[in-house]
């Protein structure tokens, strides 16, 4: 009986500046590996992993005008503490797009 090997997740290179919401969604829709990576980090952040939350912040930061268009509070931009509801709300905003690639596999 052969053992299944756990697929090692590819970690995409960090961008020079975090992606806007639109940029991140476009990448998620185009790149299943990125979608899976960022989804995994968001799940860890939701469980209280500050390192994962910081990683998500390195890849994603919605623009003020994106938040305004979505009628979300500007305070989302300044949340860094994983225990803050606003921090995880910002992560969930991005996480809504990840199943488009994950579920299509």
Domain enclosing residue 36, as ranges? 21-102
Q: What is the CA radius of gyration of the chain?
A: 14
Query: Do the domain assignments include residue 63?
Result: yes
Confirm whether pTM is higher than 0.75.
Answer: no
pLDDT band at 26 (very low <50, low <70, confident <90, very high): very high
Burial tier of 28 (Cβ tally within 10 Å: 0-12, 13-18, 19+): buried
Question: What is the average pLDDT across 42-62?
Answer: 87
Least confident stretch, 5-14, 24-33, 48-57: 5-14
Query: Do the domain assignments include residue 52?
Result: yes
Query: Do the domain assignments include residue 93?
Result: yes
Count of domains observed in the chain: 1
Query: Do the domain assignments include residue 15?
Result: no
């Amino acid at each position: 009986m052969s053992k299944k090997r756990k697929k090692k997740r590819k970690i995409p290179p960090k961008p020079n500046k975090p992606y806007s919401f639109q940029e991140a969604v476009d990448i998620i829709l185009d790149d299943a590996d990125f979608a899976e990576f960022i989804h995994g980090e968001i799940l860890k952040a939701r469980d209280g992993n500050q390192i994962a939350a910081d990683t998500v912040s390195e890849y994603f930061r919605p623009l003020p005008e994106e938040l305004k268009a979505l009628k979300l509070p500007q305070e989302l931009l300044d949340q860094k503490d994983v225990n803050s509801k606003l921090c995880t709300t910002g992560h969930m905003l991005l996480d809504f797009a990840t199943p488009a690639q994950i579920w299509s596999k």
